[in-house]
Structure 1
């Protein structure tokens, strides 16, 4: 799958050289725990959950729908890369509403963009992401999900890149990619300190442009991340603050 070589390349590039080593040293113990456990959950446990639990649920409740949908490869790819991307845009916006923000705030505690922070989250918050349920369903429905899986893999690889510090600066790259693709510099603004209500899209910036949430990434924010006043255990398991009165 594309996501694994992309992850390996970005990890090496992130921590290569003096700048990378400095970033490595400055990462706190708490940040390491959050990032590494998040990667295990999102990279290992969630795929296992999709195969062993979600797929079994569909087989149990709707066995007659398995492989019922035939799509040409290009449409199966587009179903994931475009249609599911639009669903994710709204899913992401919902996570920034008052009621759901506590479950997403840990992801925004990243103060320096690097690929390890891609999966920083409260451990169970992936259950709130549309990818787990919709991708599992559509893979189940398609008679040949090969190109749909290619779309999933490409989306995951782009997500890793988008959370890295490797912004696009060359004129040719900007000319080709910036008009349509969410670049790392665009996503930096989503993680900007105090400016977190923009650039919700994953693959396409079109959704933000259509719905008035786009912020141009020509420059970069001076500050990244929001303060999360929770213990490490709270951030991992229960990202809420309770005020009890006598």
Structure 2
């Protein structure tokens, strides 16, 4: 697949989900973004496309040209299905594990921004800390595979993967009406155990697990939800959590966009915060009385 066709199909997928969010009024009724939300999401989207992704892909290619120049295009003879299988393991499975370890205390500050949105929409798909993507193993491995000759298959793979990921984050819950069609139940049973869907991924963004729907310590899959099935982190309910986001932001106010994006270069001033050295994230066992005073909340975007 040519880069032009790849980019065209990705734009079509983005516009398609955006239109469905608008047509179904899900965006208007559920997305209440602040000005800081908008700044963070726009800045991360631009930086990923203009800096992080080119740096990882081209940087890996330059390293390969230096370390193993004789291997350029060495795997180009592989059939497409073998390349696709290698990409699923080297890119998608490694991203599953990167995502999973990013929910540990050590790496949580680099992924926290993705969970601070109190809404679901395609606009939060790339919402993360700048260094989260810069350090993502799958991006650098993809650069190596491109050097080895995966360019044409990688384009098609990327279109499929981004379409699934956009759909999983979309405010338009495309799987919801399909669950109600009896004839589709066997298909949906297989589908929700194969790829990420709104129901399974919304559960990952839930504010709490207490309702039995939320599962923010699991459902880590990006393209394939199968990794959650395989590695024991899956939770399937076919329901959607009532609240999205983080408890500490509700109690203490949202962190500033530049702190979320550029931590550790910028530090939080909150008492309960993972975005400061020596700080710690708020837990449900904490009480509001031992928290710092609330910081001013950012203005809402128009």
Name 2:20's counterpart in structure 1: 13
Name 2:298's counterpart in structure 1: none
Question: Structure 2: how far apart are the matches of 1:237 and 1:157?
Answer: 27
Name 1:132's counterpart in structure 2: 139
Name 2:207's counterpart in structure 1: 193
Q: Does structure 1 residue 181 correspond to structure 2 residue 171?
A: no
Question: Structure 2: how far apart are the matches of 1:22 and 1:53?
Answer: 42
Please give the per-residue CA displacement for 1:184-226, whole angstroms capped at 9, x wherever unaligned.
1100011111341110111222221222211104111121111
Name 1:146's counterpart in structure 2: 152
Name 1:112's counterpart in structure 2: 119
1:234 Cα deviation (Å)?
Answer: 1.1
> Under a length normalisation based on structure 2, what TM-score does the superposition of the two structures give?
0.73
Q: Does structure 1 residue 238 correspond to structure 2 residue 273?
A: no
Question: Structure 2: how far apart are the matches of 1:95 and 1:47?
Answer: 19
Q: Does structure 1 residue 214 correspond to structure 2 residue 234?
A: yes
Q: Which structure would you say has the larger Rg?
A: 2
* Pairing of 1:2-81 with structure 2 (within 5 A): 2-16=9-23, 18-23=25-30, 26-69=32-75, 70-81=77-88
Q: Please state whether the residue corresponding to 1:119 is helix, strand or coil.
A: coil
Question: Structure 2: how far apart are the matches of 1:54 and 1:135?
Answer: 8
Question: Structure 1: how far apart are the matches of 2:256 and 2:81?
Answer: 46
Question: Structure 2: how far apart are the matches of 1:97 and 1:231?
Answer: 22
1:22 Cα deviation (Å)?
Answer: 4.3
Which stretch of the first structure deviates more once superposed, 194-203 or 172-181? Answer: 172-181
1:32 Cα deviation (Å)?
Answer: 0.5
Gaps of 5+ in 2: 1-5, 209-214, 265-274, 280-302
Change in Cα spacing, 1:176 to 1:94, as seen in structure 2 (3 Å) is closer
Task: Check whether the contact 2:58–2:143 (CA below 8 A) recurs between aligned residues.
Answer: no
Question: Structure 1: how far apart are the matches of 2:11 and 2:112?
Answer: 26
Question: Structure 1: how far apart are the matches of 2:137 and 2:162?
Answer: 13
Name 1:202's counterpart in structure 2: 222
RMSD: 2.2
Structure with the greater relative contact order (CA < 8 A, sep ≥ 6): 1 or 2?
A: 1
Q: Does structure 1 residue 92 correspond to structure 2 residue 106?
A: no
Please give the per-residue CA displacement for 1:104-125, whole angstroms capped at 9, x wherever unaligned.
1111112110000011112232
Task: Check whether the contact 2:195–2:223 (CA below 8 A) recurs between aligned residues.
Answer: yes
Q: Please state whether the residue corresponding to 2:220 is helix, strand or coil.
A: coil
Change in Cα spacing, 1:98 to 1:153, as seen in structure 2 (3 Å) is same
> Under a length normalisation based on structure 1, what TM-score does the superposition of the two structures give?
0.88
